[in-house]
Amino acid sequence: MTLRTERVGEAIRDEIANLLLRGTVKDPGLPTLLSITGVKVSPDLHYAVVYYSTPGDEAARKLAGKALTRAGGFLRGQVGKALRLRLTPELRFVLDDSVDRGERLSQVMRDIQYDTEPGTPEPEPTREG
């Protein structure tokens, strides 16, 4: 990514996050807790992949993705107005599962550290005195 596409991506991320935070998007499928984690813009600025994250199970995450896709045209129009871009990229929404991967990695590290079976709770620390 070039500096220009990075700047445009950050501006798009900020604007979409602000629109969602202000409640501008009126879709009942949107969860109340939704984070826009990043935006990657194509070099020709025609397309932008918007990464989002939301807590919950897989079904809830898919519903959030469908709601964002439904609101995509509206969000694109609002982003174009706010940023005054000559060409507003077409938005595509993709679930960012990096938080889940990090959580799984942390659990594996804890399991290794305490030499336990995967998924078992950590042992309580002992008080030596």
The C-alpha atoms of residue 33 and residue 11 are separated, in whole angstroms, by 21
Residue 128 lies in a domain: no
Structure tokens at 42: 């194509």
CATH of residue 81's domain is 3.30.300.20
Residue 69: per-residue pLDDT: 93
Residue 123 lies in a domain: no
State which residues form the domain around 42: 3-114
Residue 115: per-residue pLDDT: 66
Residue 97 lies in a domain: yes
Residue 77 lies in a domain: yes
Structure tokens at 103: 């959580």
> Taking the chain (129 residues) in consecutive chunks of 10 residues, what is each chunk's mean pLDDT?
88 93 85 88 93 86 90 93 90 84 76 67 62
* Unique residue bearing structure tokens 């993709």: 94
Number of separate domains in the chain = 1
